[in-house]
Copies of this chain bind each other. A is one copy, B any other.
Amino acid sequence: MDDKSANTARLIALDWGTSSLRAWLLADNGEAIDTRTARRGIMQVADDAFAAAYREIIGDWIAVHGDLPVLACGMIGSRGGWAEAAYVDCPAELCALAGRLLKVEADPVPLYIVPGVMQQAGEGALPDVMRGEETQVLGALAVAPELAERGLLVLPGTHCKWVHIADHRLAAFSTYMTGELFAVLRKHSILGKPIGRNESAIDTEAFDFGVDSARAAGTAGLAAALFSTRSRMLAGELAAEATPDYLSGLLIGDELRSALAGLERVPPLRLIGDDALCGRYRRALARFDIDDAAEIPDAARSGLWRIAEAAGLLLTRHQNS
């Protein structure tokens, strides 16, 4: 064992998801010495060549800093990833995550993978699963400990998660396929037909119109509201180039309607994710009278650090077995 001084590398942390891989070389207290992003999400790694992608992303860090523990969260631990890590049952003690790491023998050093969380079906509740978000939740609670007794974390993305925290546990969660629905409808459905390139600034008027339309549709829900993206355009209420932001507002608005409907009182709510997307959610939340939804940055990195600490990965130089 070395006597670690500040800025000595202690951990390599990987957020290895479906469409991207982020890697951090972390020093004491979890500070980042170096950061990398690669298009090496599990969908982008040809022929499941995870071992090669792994060497590629961490090889030179190990060469320079010696053997370090490596901890990953996300879809790399799914059935379609490198190796399937277990699920921890929900309600989940967050400390249970550290006790259930999966060790994958690899070159130049083993990889540890954080388990996912599974919610079983029960009295009206649908079964649900997460991989990666549990780590972000743990990281977020380090930054916002006031949510540990009772809080709501919203993680916008391809599959947006709404995670309820109660008594320091991950109590319940729901997945909304909002991001993926937007992508497939825009690219492959008639709702995307009139849409040119419009990747620039958000058309806030169209977005708000979509949010309000979803809210007004109420319990009739998304199935009844989606086609209004087209019919409002044909009725002259919406310009063709405004339809993507209307559709975005409609989908996010319906998600908020659905997720907030069952709550007598909305717990303190925080957002975790991409800035631009969190901005859309903050804007939509304000139309549901929720004005204090701050963003929590660096949640995955913080969570991986906490789990590595709790699992004892930081105590010893790792022996490559």
Chain A interface (Cβ < 8 Å from any Cβ of B): 79-80, 118-121, 124, 126-129, 159, 174-178, 180-181, 184-185, 187-191, 193, 213, 216-228, 230-232, 234-235, 237, 251, 254-255, 257-259, 261-262
Contacts and interface: CB of A to CB of B under 8 A. Distances in A.
B188 A237 contact: no
Tell me which of A224, A258, A259 has the highest count of chain B C-beta atoms within 10 A of its own C-beta.
A224
28 contacts: A79-B234, A80-B193, A118-B231, A118-B235, A126-B213, A126-B227, A127-B228, A127-B237, A174-B224, A175-B231, A176-B223, A176-B224, A177-B227, A180-B189, A181-B226, A184-B185, A188-B188, A219-B219, A219-B258, A220-B262, A221-B222, A221-B254, A221-B257, A221-B258, A222-B223, A223-B254, A223-B255, A224-B259
Contacts of A190: 159, 180
A258 B175 contact: no
Given A127-B228, A159-B190, A184-B184, 17 more contacts: A79-B234, A80-B193, A118-B231, A118-B234, A119-B231, A126-B227, A127-B232, A128-B228, A129-B234, A176-B227, A177-B189, A181-B223, A221-B221, A222-B222, A223-B255, A223-B258, A224-B259
The 4 closest A-B pairs by CB, nearest first: A221-B221, A219-B219, A175-B227, A127-B235
A166 to B, nearest CB: 19
A205 B254 CA distance: 29
* Copies of this protein, total: 2
A124 B216 contact: yes
A126 B224 contact: yes
Contacts of A231: 118-119, 126-129, 175
- Which one of A174, A185, A221 has the highest number of Cβ atoms from chain B below 10 Å of its Cβ? A221
A195 to B, nearest CB: 14
A284 to B, nearest CB: 13
Contacts of A261: 219-220
Nearest to A128: B231
Given A128-B231, A129-B231, A231-B127, A177 B226 contact: yes
A248 to B, nearest CB: 14
Nearest to A230: B129
Contacts of A216: 124
Contact of A228 (B126, B218, B221): B126
A214 to B, nearest CB: 9
Nearest to A216: B124
A53 to B, nearest CB: 20
A119 B188 CA distance: 26
Contact of A126 (B126, B127, B184, B225): B225
Contacts of A187: 188
Contact of A129 (B126, B184, B235): B235
Contacts of A237: 121, 127
